[in-house]
Structures are given as structure tokens and as C-alpha cells.
């Protein structure tokens, strides 16, 4: 169980590293594009396979995201990667929070719920 926790911690750090790769000027553009896509997918509240679908739902968390991270790591120069991993470790210790990001996700969910309610209401027969 300890190895699983360590692996999960490494993946968490590497998702932050991938985010930093997408923003680093020392990384070639193909690496930046792939890193941005992997980071956006890993950090997005919307999954390819929803987690409530038992084993299939965790497929992206256990396979797709780590494979994306691995692909990004292969495209980044070793010294840049080492530097960004140190930077990620420092950031994880500080535990940054993005209130703007949290607000954007909350607004997105509220809009989706409002659209769902409106759609469901349109299905009900109108009272006369």
C-alpha cells in the first residue's frame, strides 16, 4: 500500500511538472502542446470515462494520464525536466490554490446544472 501512495504522489507531482512544461520557454513547441493537452485532461473535472463506471471509469486515471506524462517526459530535455521537478516539489510543499480556477469550475457546473434543469423542465407537459 505504501508503494501505491508513493506512486500516486509521484503522479500528482508529475501532473504539476507537465503543467510547468507547457509554460516553459526552454521546451520545444511539440512538447508544450502535448504537455498542455495532458495537463488540461489530468486537471479537468470532466473525464473521458466517468469514475462511477467502476473499473472502466478509473482507466484514464490509471493508464491514460500516466502514459501522457511519460510521453511528455520523453520530449523534454533532461536538465529542464530536473529543474521543473524541483520547482514542482517546492510548489507542492507550499500547497498553492487557485481561487479563480475553483470559481471557474463551480460556475461551469452551475451552468451545466441549470441547462439540465431547463431541459428536464421542457420535457414535462405544460399545465393549462
Residue-level pLDDT at 53: 59
Which of 52, 45, 47, 56 shows the shortest CA–CA distance to 104? 45
Sign (positive/negative) of CA torsion 113, 118, 122, 125? positive
Q: Does residue 9 have a pLDDT over 70?
A: yes
- Grid coordinates given for 80: 529542464
pTM of the model: 0.59
Q: Residue 72's pLDDT is what?
A: 92
pLDDT confidence tier of residue 82, bands split at 50, 70 and 90: very high
Residue 22 pLDDT class (50, 70, 90 cuts): very high
Q: Is the pLDDT of residue 89 over 80?
A: yes
Mean pLDDT over residues 5-33, rounded?
86
Q: Report the distance separating Cα 113 and Cα 128, nearest Å.
A: 27
- Residue 128 host element (H or E): none
Specify the pLDDT at position 96.
Answer: 56
Amino acid at each position: 500500500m505504501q508503494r501505491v501512495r508513493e506512486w500516486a504522489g509521484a503522479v500528482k507531482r508529475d501532473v504539476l511538472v507537465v503543467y510547468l512544461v507547457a509554460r516553459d520557454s526552454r521546451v520545444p513547441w511539440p512538447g508544450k502542446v502535448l504537455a498542455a493537452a495532458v495537463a488540461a485532461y489530468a486537471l479537468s473535472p470532466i473525464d473521458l470515462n466517468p469514475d462511477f463506471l467502476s473499473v472502466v471509469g478509473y482507466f484514464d486515471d490509471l493508464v491514460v494520464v500516466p502514459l501522457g506524462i511519460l510521453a511528455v517526459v520523453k520530449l523534454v530535455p533532461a536538465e529542464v525536466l530536473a529543474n521543473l521537478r524541483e520547482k514542482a516539489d517546492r510548489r507542492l510543499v507550499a500547497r498553492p490554490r487557485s481561487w479563480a480556477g475553483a470559481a471557474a469550475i463551480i460556475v461551469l457546473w452551475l451552468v451545466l446544472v441549470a441547462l439540465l434543469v431547463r431541459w428536464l423542465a421542457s420535457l414535462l407537459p405544460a399545465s393549462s
